[in-house]
């Protein structure tokens, strides 16, 4: 049944797919980062189609607007240039292409076998922040708190990795008094 | 979508097209005349006249500037990374102009029997979408700095994007106090929650209980729009011209337009969230009653723009490390304290 929702779903999905393929195909990292931003925006559109408007807005604010800004920031700061072109690997082609085909056939078979039983309708997920708030603090409290501890650990790890190494203890000969 | 339920589809589309055209026209004119206002006010604060020659009081100066930008040579230096060099001002100006679509200007007006809200769209997560749009606007600045292939631009672009990302957090947190008190993300609901008066004359505006939140919002918004005292990324004496060094003519004008459109959006949000939006004394015949709320809204936005320009003419700028320390070590904890205090007060 061709409805506007199907068309929008296919459009956002096509943009996400094109962005992801472009991410791999581009040689300059800044183009790859911009393709990833397009993927994030398309995913936000998909979330909106599912009815999760808060998640869609937060996806844009956090992922596309902060995490990807930091990716772009690092690429600009380190002046990353065009990737160097290495010779292809025969082993990768010999095992990789059949392996990828096998994997995608497997995934497609599993998905088609289960289609219709767990398919999500348009607008099915909780949307407004008023309904998500209680969910986060009642049913999903444990994952919420564990995620925040995980983020704290990541921040501490980043601070430790980026700090200066401890300086050598003060010693050596004193001046002639 | 609200409003489409009560209106037939052709009325909705026609009203949306007319509203978009009017709002865009008014916004672009407001951007041009905010530049005029800034030049006049800063000039008078520095004991000089500002533009006086082009038209009475220099009022045609923006028109002259617009013509100048159109006729100027649009030079693309050979060493830039062309796709992003051209895309960056477009990104900046598109996202700066888009956020005005969520902003309500007044109550509904009744034309030919149809009740049309004075807002292009009333999304029920409107505030969140405006924050998302300002987050994406950072890319215009960062990519402009990088694609110009120039060390001053790169430094300006990096500083600007780091500053904007840092202050977005305080910006968002300072607004959560208002959201807790209003109970909704929709801008129209937040303004409607500020109707009424205490003791008959003190209005119910959120600035009174949320003055800490208002202070945090104002500081974070000044930093987000790269205005003095936080304008190191585009400081003339520091970095030639920062991230827009290599831009000329219309592309430079687009960065300018994006900056002033962001200022206007920030001023509109401040009036909607803290100063009661279009609530104000309404009296007189029906036509006056329809126009007066919009007038009050415009007057409050004008007051905030004047405050922006006043601060610009008065304060020196922060050094970059002072700027980042202020954002992370002072403003963020203050916004969190405001949030906790508001939550406790509301839950009591």
Position A72 in a domain = yes
Q: Are B193 and B181 in contact (CB under 8 A)?
A: yes
pLDDT band at residue B153 under the 50/70/90 scheme: confident
Q: Where are the domains of chain B?
A: 68-347
Q: Which residues contact B192 (CB under 8 A, 6 or more apart)?
A: none
Average pLDDT over residues B109-132: 84
Under an 8 A CB cutoff, do B157 and A64 touch? Answer: no
Q: What pLDDT is stored for residue A117 in this prediction? A: 55
Q: Are B39 and B50 in contact (CB under 8 A)?
A: yes
Rounded to whole angstroms, the Cα distance separating B48 from B67 reads 25
Q: Enumerate helices (H) and strands (E) in chain A, giving the number of each.
A: 7, 0
CATH number (domain holding residue A50)? 1.20.120.1200
Average pLDDT over residues B169-186: 90
Measuring CA to CA, how many Å separate A126 from each of A30, A54, B187, B249? 35, 9, 21, 48
Position A114 in a domain = no
Same-domain pairing of A76 and A136: no
Size of the A and B interface in Cβ pairs below 8 Å: 63
Chain B hits for A73, Cβ within 8 Å: 142, 158, 161-162
**Whole-structure pTM over 0.95, yes or no?**
no
* Chain mean position to CA B186: 17
Q: What pLDDT is stored for residue B42 in this prediction? A: 93
Above 80 in pLDDT, residue B245?
Answer: no
Under an 8 A CB cutoff, do B125 and A128 touch? Answer: yes
Q: Which residue has the higher pLDDT, B330 or B3?
A: B330
If DSSP codes are grouped into helix, strand and coil, which group holds residue B110? Answer: strand
- Element containing residue A11 per DSSP (H, E): helix A4-25
Chain B hits for A54, Cβ within 8 Å: 125, 128
Average pLDDT over residues A1-7: 81
Q: At what angle do helices B249-274 and B211-224 cross, to 10 degrees?
A: 170
Sign of CA dihedral B220, A60, A63, A24: negative
Under an 8 A CB cutoff, do B161 and A57 touch? Answer: no
Same-domain pairing of A3 and A76: yes
Give the domain extent around A17.
1-81+121-127
Name the domain count of chain A: 2
Q: Model confidence over B284-319: pLDDT tens digits?
A: 887 888 888 899 999 999 999 999 999 998 998 888
Lowest mean pLDDT among B3-12, B173-182, B299-308: B3-12
Q: Please name which of B100, B98, B122, B119 lies closest in space to residue B109, comparing C-alpha atoms.
A: B119
Find the closest chain B residue to A70 by CA distance: B162
Above 80 in pLDDT, residue A167?
Answer: no
Residue A148's φ and ψ, nearest 5 degrees, are -70, -35
pLDDT band at residue B122 under the 50/70/90 scheme: confident
Position A30 in a domain = yes
Q: What pLDDT is stored for residue A119 in this prediction? A: 64
Position A103 in a domain = no
Rounded to whole angstroms, the Cα distance separating B22 from B29 reads 11
**Radius of gyration in angstroms for the set of CA atoms belonging to chain A, rounded to a whole number:** 24
Residue among B80, B81, B86, B136 with most chain A CBs within 10 A, to mutate: B136
Same-domain pairing of A12 and A74: yes
Whether the CB of B224 is below 8 Å from some CB of chain A: the reply is: no
């Amino acid at each position: 049944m061709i409805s506007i929702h199907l068309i929008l779903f296919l459009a956002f999905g096509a943009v996400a797919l094109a962005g992801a393929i472009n991410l791999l195909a581009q040689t300059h990292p800044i183009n790859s980062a911009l393709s990833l931003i397009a993927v994030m925006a398309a995913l936000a559109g998909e979330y909106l189609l599912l009815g999760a408007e808060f998640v869609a807005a937060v996806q844009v604010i956090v992922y596309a607007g902060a995490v990807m800004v930091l990716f772009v920031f690092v690429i600009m700061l380190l002046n990353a240039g065009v990737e160097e072109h290495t010779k292809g690997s025969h082993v990768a082609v010999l095992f990789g292409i059949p392996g990828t085909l096998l994997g995608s056939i497997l995934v497609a078979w599993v998905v088609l076998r289960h289609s219709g039983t767990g398919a999500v309708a348009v607008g099915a997920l909780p949307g407004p922040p008023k309904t998500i708030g209680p969910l986060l603090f009642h049913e999903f409290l444990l994952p919420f708190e564990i995620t925040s501890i995980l983020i704290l650990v990541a921040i501490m790890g980043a601070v430790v990795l980026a700090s200066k190494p401890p300086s050598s203890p003060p010693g050596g000969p004193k001046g002639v008094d | 979508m609200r409003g489409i339920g009560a209106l037939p589809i052709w009325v909705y589309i026609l009203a949306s097209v007319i509203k978009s055209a009017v709002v865009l026209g008014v916004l672009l004119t407001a951007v041009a005349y905010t530049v005029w206002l800034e030049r006049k006010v800063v000039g008078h604060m520095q004991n000089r006249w500002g533009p006086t020659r082009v038209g009475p009081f220099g009022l045609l100066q923006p028109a002259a500037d617009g013509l100048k930008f159109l006729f100027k040579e649009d030079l693309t230096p050979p060493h830039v990374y062309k796709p992003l060099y051209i895309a960056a001002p477009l990104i900046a100006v598109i996202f700066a102009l888009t956020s005005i679509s969520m902003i309500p200007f007044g109550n509904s007006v009744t034309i030919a029997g149809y009740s049309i809200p004075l807002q292009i769209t009333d999304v029920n997560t409107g505030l969140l979408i405006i924050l998302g749009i300002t987050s994406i606007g950072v890319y215009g600045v960062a990519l402009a700095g990088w694609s110009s292939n120039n060390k001053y631009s790169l430094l300006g672009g990096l500083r600007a994007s780091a500053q904007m990302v840092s202050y977005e957090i305080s910006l968002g947190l300072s607004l959560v106090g208002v959201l807790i008190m209003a109970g909704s993300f929709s801008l129209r609901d937040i303004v409607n929650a500020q109707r009424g008066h205490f003791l008959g004359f003190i209005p119910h505006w959120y600035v009174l209980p949320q003055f800490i939140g208002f202070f945090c919002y104002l500081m974070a918004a000044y930093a987000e729009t790269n205005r003095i005292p936080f304008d190191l990324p585009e400081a003339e004496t520091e970095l030639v011209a920062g991230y827009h060094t290599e831009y000329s003519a219309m592309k430079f004008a687009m960065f300018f337009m994006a900056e002033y459109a962001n200022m206007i959006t920030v001023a509109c949000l401040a009036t909607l969230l803290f100063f009661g939006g279009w609530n104000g004394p309404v009296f007189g015949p029906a036509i006056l009653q329809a126009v007066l709320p919009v007038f009050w809204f415009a007057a409050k936005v004008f007051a905030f723009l004047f405050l922006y320009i006043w601060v610009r003419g008065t304060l020196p700028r922060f050094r970059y490390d002072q700027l980042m320390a202020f954002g992370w070590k002072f403003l963020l904890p203050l916004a969190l304290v405001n949030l906790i205090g508001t939550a406790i007060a509301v839950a009591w």
